[in-house]
Structure formats: structure tokens, C-alpha cells
Amino acid sequence: MIYEPRPSDAEISEKYAFIGGMGDATPSKSEDLERTALRARRVYKMLSKHMPHGATRVMDFGGGDGRLLKEFVERDFVCALVDYADRPIAGVTKIATTEKDIPVDQTFDAIVCSHVVEHLGSPLQCLMELRRSLADDGAMYVEVPYEVFDQLPAESEPVTHVNFFTPESLTNLLQEAGYEVVRCNIDLYPHPQGHWSLCVGAIARHGRGQKIRRKNGIAGLDRALKPSTGRRLAVRLARRFYPSVAKIRYGA
């Protein structure tokens, strides 16, 4: 699902260049830094299972100041950032502003693309471009908010999120961009403001020429917008009990 009419790539780039110049990537007073640290631990644990043995290089695409790489920094990874913002955290080096600026001679064992794809004017082209920066045996983690569950996308902040995903549509997008999707499912992530929010998370690798099996995106969107009673109950229970599970998984 997308906004239509939608802003052009140039308009979106201009917006984020302006925001980056204002230093918007630095933590705001309302942001819970411990929650951000929790999110960083979560991203590391999910990606580390799929990284190649001996991995040393990771890139955060669209990660603001690169704070989600904190766990990688502490493990002495070479940590790179691609973003409009110019003030990365210690241990992270900004190497480019957009995917088109990433040096062609640099590849990474892991790429983090967390809460970025929903903002992109041309997500397919962007993900195709990122593929050249992923090492042959590398893994990428893509996470987007799940904003179409039992509702139309919120209109409180238009032209910020212009794409809205289900597991089916995110899988189809990644496959179309040339990736093999290892997994793609609905999850909960620790929002910096203190609550747990629904998201769709995917682990992807380089496609090896296998036949693409497209998911039924329309059916997936239908299930999201008009969930069954059982699905509503499952989500309600997950929101209630998942924080306890997270304490065990991620040290929440």
C-alpha cells in the first residue's frame, strides 16, 4: 500500500537533507535512550545468527547517527553509516549520504535497514542498489512498521511514511530486488517512546537465481486490514506478554 499522489524522490531527498542538517538524528529529549539501546541489542542478536563466520564489517543504511550499531561497535566491528545526518556516534563512520554514494569497493557482512524503506520514494531501486554493498555471503536485516493492522495507515504525519507493508508485500519487494528472503514475519519492536509496536522484519541474502515465488499481496493486505478475531486476540496477547519475553531474549 502506498500514498498516491506521492512525493518524488527529489522531494523526499530534499526533506531528509533539511532534517539531517538540523541535527535531527541526535536523541531528542522525549526519546528513551535505554529503549534505543534495547533495540540495538535486539538488532544485533537477530542479525548475528545469519552473518558469515568471521564477520567484521557492518553498515547501517538510514540509521540517523548509527546508534543501532552500538553492539557491533562494542565487538570491534568496522561500522559504517549511510545517512543525511553528519554526527555519527563514536565508533561509527559515515561513508555516504545515499545508497548511490556508497563507495563501490566497499562491501559489508551485514546491513541494517531499520525503519527506512517506508520512507523511500523508490524502494525497489534502493534495495537493488544496496545489494552491491552486501558481501556474497552477507545478510541484511530490513524492518518496517506494521501500520495496516486493523486500520488504514495513520494520517497524523503524512509524507513521512509513504509505503505501508505486510509480510507478503515486503517479501515480494525483496525478491524483486534480487534477494533470497530467509524469513519475514510480524514482530514487536521496542519503540524509543517506551511502548512495543508492531513491525515486519525480514532477513535477506543474495538471491542465487532460484525461482521467485511471489506471495499474494492483496490477500495479505486483506488479512491485515480485516483481521480475524483470532488474529486480533493473538496480537493483543503478544503486546501484553512480549515485554516479559524480551527481558529474557534481549535483557530488556
Q: Domain extents for the chain? A: 9-241
Which residue has cell 543525511?
A: 84
- For the beta carbon of residue 68, count every other beta carbon within 10 angstroms: 28
Among the listed residues 111, 22, 134, 110, the one whose alpha carbon sits nearest the alpha carbon of residue 62: 111
- Do the beta carbons of residue 96 and residue 88 sit within 8 Å? no
Which residue has cell 503486546?
A: 239
Q: Which residue has the higher pLDDT, 119 or 94?
A: 94
Question: Band of the pLDDT at 31, cuts 50, 70, 90?
Answer: low
pLDDT at 32 over 90: no
Question: Band of the pLDDT at 173, cuts 50, 70, 90?
Answer: very high
- Sign of the torsion angle spanned by Cα atoms 61, 109, 178, 96: positive
Report the distance separating Cα 108 and Cα 58, nearest Å: 5
Report the distance separating Cα 128 and Cα 113, nearest Å: 13
Mean pLDDT, range 33-59, rounded to an integer: 94
| pLDDT computed for residue 235 by the predictor | 94
Domain 9-241: homologous superfamily in CATH: Vaccinia Virus protein VP39 (3.40.50.150)
Question: Band of the pLDDT at 26, cuts 50, 70, 90?
Answer: very low
Which residue has cell 556516534?
A: 89
pLDDT at 1 over 90: no
| pLDDT computed for residue 27 by the predictor | 46
| pLDDT computed for residue 29 by the predictor | 47
Radius of gyration of the chain, Cα coordinates, nearest whole angstrom: 17
Among the listed residues 163, 142, 139, 146, the one whose alpha carbon sits nearest the alpha carbon of residue 199: 146
| pLDDT computed for residue 4 by the predictor | 67
Mean pLDDT, range 83-88, rounded to an integer: 93
| pLDDT computed for residue 138 by the predictor | 98
What is the rounded average pLDDT for all residues in the chain?
A: 89
Percent of the chain having pLDDT more than 70?
90
pTM of the model: 0.90
Q: Which residue has the higher pLDDT, 20 or 82?
A: 82
Quote the crossing angle between the two packed helices 217-225 and 167-176, to the nearest 10°. 150
Mean pLDDT, range 66-92, rounded to an integer: 97
Q: Which residue has the higher pLDDT, 128 or 211?
A: 128
CA 117, distance to chain mean position in Å, is: 7
Q: Which three cell numbers stand for residue 203?
A: 532477513
Mean pLDDT, range 68-88, rounded to an integer: 97
Residues shown for the chain: 252
